[in-house]
Amino acid sequence: MGCVFQGRRPTGEIYSDELASQYPERDWILTRILWLTGCEPGRNRGGDTDTLKRYIYIHGTPDTEPMGKPVSHGCIRMRNTDIIELFDRVENAMPVFIQD
């Protein structure tokens, strides 16, 4: 299904139902990661709210996981096919605007 990441690094695992049943409490980060760096000093860049230091990013997730509900640790979760398409369209340091 997709390669597994932890701490923004690949684990060498490939996601499967069997792997998911072994680790039911894991917040699955799959396929691709778009790292986010805040643009506002004191708000989301630097200090305790720094987006990059808090590991807040956009990433793939299993198709069985709900979308549109706050169930991760602050990340934006996407279906694997969607994050692959987005990943291929963005460039390094490209501004990202996130809204409801």
What pLDDT score does 62 carry? 92
What pLDDT score does 21 carry? 95
**Domain housing 10:** 3-89
Is there a domain that residue 26 lies in?
Answer: yes
What are phi and psi for residue 87, nearest 5 degrees?
-55, -40
Is there a domain that residue 95 lies in?
Answer: no
Is there a domain that residue 96 lies in?
Answer: no
The stretches in the chain having pLDDT less than 50 are none
* Cα–Cα dist 78/98, whole Å: 13
What pLDDT score does 58 carry? 92
What pLDDT score does 23 carry? 93
Is there a domain that residue 98 lies in?
Answer: no
Dump pLDDT digits (tens) for 46-70.
Answer: 888 888 888 889 999 998 888 877 7
Is there a domain that residue 18 lies in?
Answer: yes
Q: Is the dihedral of CA 64, 67, 69, 75 positive or negative?
A: positive
Total structural domains in the chain?
1
CB atoms under 10 Å from CB of 29, counted, come to: 27
With H, G, I as helix, E, B as strand and everything else as coil, classify residue 89.
helix
